[in-house]
Amino acid sequence: MPWSTVGSLVFVWWNTSLSPPIAKPPASDENVRFVVEQLRDIRLEIGFDILALGEVRSSDLQAIIDGLGDPNLRVHDATDRSGRLMYDTAVIYDCSKLSLESTHSMTDRFGNKALKTGEVVVLRVAATGDRIVMVVSHWPGRRNVPDCAPARPELGSSLRRYAERIHEEVPNAFIVLAGDYNDDPFSPSLANHMLATRDRSLARRNNRFLYNPFWRKLGESHDHNRSAEMQGVCGTHFYYGGDHSQWFTFDQIIFSSAFLQDSSMCLNEELCGIVAPSELRAKVITRREIFDHFPVLGTIEVRCES
């Protein structure tokens, strides 16, 4: 079918590091201001339509919205620090392009322990009437749930099963998974249990698979050359004390098969990647700073039949 592009939808996920889901006082004004400035730049330069945030609390969101100063932006504040399980994610979206249909949170429970699987946000695209189901996740860190713990694959299976259930009703459903999984694209939880594959043609052929463009963001961004290396990144998260690498690609945006098909919304992989402005990079690789994640970007083209 011939399509003509009528616009795009830009997704950004960022674990801001401002308010981790642990009992801790709010971040300093200076750090909140820094996050606001970074987001303002991203909004100006890239023009996100859906901004999913991790490690935020309501006051951070208020500062971000005030700082962005855009009347088209709406917030779904899914944060909650009142219970034993603290929620730290939120979604800001452009209401001139999208409307919010519903939200709910998913948890996986093992004995008395509950783990956050994701926050589901269902959005309607104004231009085409299509529905996007977005699941924003901030999975537990490896200190709480080690990378070999059986709970991690269960979180991946849980999201795959959720996607399968949606596909039972709508085989070409547009599903976007975004977040800080505290797992790399090759981790069993994502690669084998969520079925977030590196193989585009497999994902296109079989909607049981999801396509994870962040497989392509695993290594050094720049070739070996000392001056270029100074600007490059080697993942989305930097941890000075990493055993085998200081860099991890924990932040990812993953797409359902429908975005690879001949359909009204199509993945634009040229505009998928890690957003690493130099001021943020400098902070991320500095131990005394709170920041340790880069934002990641995913873009889809919105098309109409021509």
Partner 1 sequence: MTDFADAFKRGQDAAAQAAASRAEISAVFTEVNEQLNVATEGKLEIERKSFAKPQKKTVADLLGGAAGLNSFLARLEPAETEPWVAARNPQAADDGWVQLAKWYRPQEGYPCELTYDKTDARCHDRAALAEALAEMLANASIGEQIRRLLALPLKESKA
Q: Which residues contribute to the site for partner 1 (CB under 8 A)? A: 103-114, 117, 120, 154, 158, 162
- Scanning the structure block, which residue is given the tokens 């000392």? 226
Q: Which is nearer to partner 1, 68 or 121 (CB)?
A: 121
Q: In 3D, which of 302, 296, 304, 259 has the Cα closest to residue 280?
A: 296
Q: In the complex, what is the shortest distance from the CB of residue 93 to partner 1, in angstroms, rounded to a whole number?
A: 18
Q: Which is nearer to partner 1, 12 or 90 (CB)?
A: 90
Q: In the complex, what is the shortest distance from the CB of residue 214 to partner 1, in angstroms, rounded to a whole number?
A: 25
* Token pair listed for 52: 């999913």
Q: In the complex, what is the shortest distance from the CB of residue 267 to partner 1, in angstroms, rounded to a whole number?
A: 26
Q: In 3D, which of 272, 265, 276, 275 has the Cα closest to residue 299?
A: 272
Q: In the complex, what is the shortest distance from the CB of residue 114 to partner 1, in angstroms, rounded to a whole number?
A: 8
Q: In the complex, what is the shortest distance from the CB of residue 78 to partner 1, in angstroms, rounded to a whole number?
A: 9
* Token pair listed for 251: 């932040």
SS (H, E, C) 254-266: EEEHHHHCCCCEE
Q: In the complex, what is the shortest distance from the CB of residue 138 to partner 1, in angstroms, rounded to a whole number?
A: 16
Q: Which is nearer to partner 1, 102 or 306 (CB)?
A: 102
Q: Which is nearer to partner 1, 103 or 144 (CB)?
A: 103
Contact 135, 177 (CB under 8 A): yes
| Separation of first and last alpha carbons in the chain | 8
Q: Which is nearer to partner 1, 162 or 181 (CB)?
A: 162
Q: What is the H or E stretch that residue 177 is in?
A: strand 174-180
Residues 119-140: b if buried by 16+ CB within 10 A, e if exposed: bbbbbebeebebebbbbbbbbb
Q: Which is nearer to partner 1, 46 or 106 (CB)?
A: 106
